[in-house]
Amino acid sequence: MGDLRPVGLFDSGVGGLTVAREVFRLLPHESMIYFGDTAHVPYGPRRTEELIRFAREIIAFLLSSRVKYIIFACGTNSSLTLPVVRALYDVPMIGLVEPGAQEAVKSTRNGRIGIIATEATVKSGAYERAIKSLALETAVFAVPAPRLVPLVEAGLSTSEEARRAVFEYARPLKKAGIDTLILGCTHYPFLASHFTDCLGPEVTLVDPAKATVLRAREEMNRLGILNNPGGRVAHSYYVSGDPARFQKTADLLGCCIENVQRLQLEEALPAGSG
Ligand code: DGL
């Protein structure tokens, strides 16, 4: 028998579903517990201390659900909280930054890489550091895009408003002559067609999710914690806000999920945990 314990994923909302879909594809024998902190979305404008508090509460919940591995399915948490909290837990964890940076460095031909992400992620400089540690000479252009997450969460990813916002944010990157763009927030792959329309097909869009889940698979294999093919697989979804709203947005985005449950972390966790 393999390791039946689930893999834990978390994000501020529906963005992490772009990582979950890679889990379904690349780790089809694994069960998953997903937490969307929709009561606190968007994370992008928040302070690091607050994000760390949320992340610790979510991790405590995931650990109480016996997860064997945690994927930070959020660019903001991958950039700001993972480097702080990793040392506090025994459970193995991975974020999107290093795998995404590696993909981008592999992809660029002209050494000009763009990053589009939340304000917090851009301010952290995490992607830029990761890219420079791999290829010092790379020119990096980072643009914060605060309007995009609320539009995706509102189910408006295909709207004219979302398209206009993407064009506004991506235009300076086009001018800068990038040939590779990291979608540094997990909500943005839902807007990929707008980015391609603005930047043209010659600019490669890097969604760090695939490289991250591949790396997670390697690590889980090395640790001997993969589930066996044929083992029981079940996925559960929890949100801190309105489950019906989350379900509706996920449906609009073409994500097949069900049984979304509401969970308020302060109520669910024993005092002092996290
Ligand atoms: N999807 C998350 C990220 O990758 C969170 C964005 C937000 O809530 O602002 O950064």
Sign, CA torsion 155/62/218/104: positive
Residue 143: CATH number of its domain: 3.40.50.1860
Q: Is the pLDDT of residue 148 over 60?
A: yes
The residues carrying an active-site annotation are 74, 185
pLDDT of residue 270: 54
**Are the C-beta atoms of 5 and 191 separated by less than 8 Å?**
no
Q: pLDDT grade, residue 269 (50/70/90)?
A: low
- Specify whether 60 is located in the same domain as 111: no
Which range marks the domain in which residue 57 is found? 7-96+210-268
Distance from the alpha carbon of residue 68 to the mean position of ligand 1, in angstroms: 23
How confident is the model over 173-193, as a mean pLDDT? Answer: 98
Q: Measured between alpha carbons, how far is 234 from 29 in angstroms, rounded to an integer? A: 9
Which of 163, 181, 207 finishes a domain?
Answer: 207
| Most trustworthy range by pLDDT among 69-83, 226-240, 253-267 | 69-83
Query: Distance, CA 79 to ligand 1 centroid (Å)?
Result: 11
Give yes or no: residues 102 and 184 share one domain.
Answer: yes
pLDDT surpasses 70 at 267? no
The reply to whether 101 and 196 lie within a common domain is: yes
The answer to whether the predicted template modeling score (pTM) of the entire model surpasses 0.75 is yes
Give per-residue pLDDT as tens, 6-22.
999 999 999 999 999 99
Confidence at residue 11, expressed as pLDDT on a 0 to 100 scale: 98
Kindly give the number of the ligand 1 atom that is closest to the alpha carbon of 45.
9
Q: Is 186 in the pocket of ligand 1 (CB under 6 A)?
A: yes
**Each residue's pLDDT tens digit, 186-228:** 999 999 999 999 999 999 999 999 999 999 999 999 999 999 9
Task: For residue 240, give the DSSP letter.
Answer: S
- Please choose from 72, 76, 147 the residue to mutate so as to test ligand 1's pocket, defined by most ligand atoms within 8 A of CB: 76
For residue 41, which atom of ligand 1 is closest to its CA?
Answer: 8
1 occurs within a structural domain: no
**pLDDT cut 70: percent of the chain above it:** 97
Pocket test for ligand 1, best of 41, 54, 187 (most atoms within 8 A of CB): 187
CA of 37 from ligand 1 middle (Å) equals: 10
pLDDT on residue 274: 47
Number of domains in the chain: 2
> How many other C-beta atoms can be found within 10 angstroms of the C-beta atom of residue 174?
15
pLDDT at 124: 98
**Does residue 43's CB lie within 6 angstroms of at least one atom of ligand 1?**
yes
Q: In angstroms, rounded to a whole number, what is the distance separating the alpha carbons of residues 105 and 139? A: 11
Read off the tokens for 48: 């690091």
Question: Are residues 138 and 159 part of one domain?
Answer: yes
Reply yes or no on whether the pLDDT at 183 is more than 70: yes
Residue 190, pLDDT score? 98
> Tell me: the pLDDT tens digits for 222-240?
999 999 998 789 999 999 9
